[in-house]
């Protein structure tokens, strides 16, 4: 097989994988955590063994969907952080971006972050085992942004990681509670969380030569 043939096959496989992920997305939007491999295969117009051939099992499909949605969310969060606005406005915009994302697609959020409640042969995988790396990835990404933009003095790299993971943990826990109970408006939650974060962040200077935060 020559290089052109291999490239064509790779492109075809990547295209087919995207199509299957789009089908999985449609089922997750409809069924949330109860989305099954059977339903996803039916939506894609294939048999479940073919779906397994592409992703291995539900854990493999979950990981692929998680990367797809986490990449999009991280891109949106970085855009909010880099917007030309005052620091407090960017903090609130970043919090709002995260909350708006889980509010807009609650079934996707629940699929990614909560175990399925129904029973079935392909439902019982450990969601926590897969969701924890997503939160760690978001924490590391935010830590890098803080390190690049905020002058935290001695030990800044470690402190940036503490803040990055702490902020992500706060957003996740508060957002999960808010999405389930809706005790206040999104704007009220954003302001309250920003107030909690604002102390030392308000007092810290921008990194010299950095993009600012």
pLDDT tens for residues 97-132?
A: 999 999 999 998 888 887 555 444 454 445 556 667
For residue 130, tell me if it sits in a domain.
yes
For residue 212, tell me if it sits in a domain.
no
pLDDT tens for residues 24-57?
A: 999 999 988 888 889 999 999 999 998 888 888 8
For residue 146, tell me if it sits in a domain.
yes
Range of the domain at 77: 3-206
Which residues on neighbouring strands pair with residue 151, listed in sequence order? 205
| Number of compact structural domains in the chain | 1
Nearest to 77 by CA among 89, 66, 91, 65: 91
For residue 167, tell me if it sits in a domain.
yes
Lowest mean pLDDT among 92-106, 139-153, 169-183: 139-153
- Domain CATH code at residue 123: 1.10.357.10
For residue 211, tell me if it sits in a domain.
no
CA distance 12 to 8: 6
- DSSP letters along 127-177, please? HHHHHHHHHHHHHHHHHHHHHHHEE--TTHHHHHHHHHHHHHHHHHHHHHH
Output 8 or 188, whichever has higher pLDDT: 188
């Amino acid at each position: 097989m020559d290089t052109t043939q291999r490239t064509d096959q790779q492109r075809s496989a990547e295209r087919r994988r995207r199509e299957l992920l789009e089908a999985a997305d449609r089922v997750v939007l409809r069924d949330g955590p109860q989305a099954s491999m059977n339903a996803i295969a039916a939506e894609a117009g294939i048999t479940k063994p073919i779906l397994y051939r592409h992703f291995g099992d539900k854990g493999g499909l979950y990981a692929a969907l998680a990367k797809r949605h986490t990449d999009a969310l991280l891109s949106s969060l970085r855009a909010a952080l880099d917007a030309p606005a005052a620091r407090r406005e960017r903090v609130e915009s970043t919090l709002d971006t995260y909350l708006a994302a889980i509010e807009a697609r609650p079934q996707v959020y629940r699929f990614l972050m909560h175990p399925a409640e129904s029973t079935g042969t392909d439902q019982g995988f450990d969601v926590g085992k897969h969701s924890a790396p997503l939160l760690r990835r978001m924490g590391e990404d935010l830590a890098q942004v803080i390190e690049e933009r905020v002058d935290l003095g001695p030990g800044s790299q470690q402190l940036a990681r503490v803040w990055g993971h702490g902020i992500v943990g706060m957003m996740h826990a508060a957002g999960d509670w808010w999405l389930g109970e809706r005790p206040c408006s999104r704007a009220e939650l954003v302001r309250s969380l920003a107030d909690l974060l604002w102390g030392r962040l308000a007092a810290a200077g921008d990194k010299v030569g950095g993009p600012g935060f």
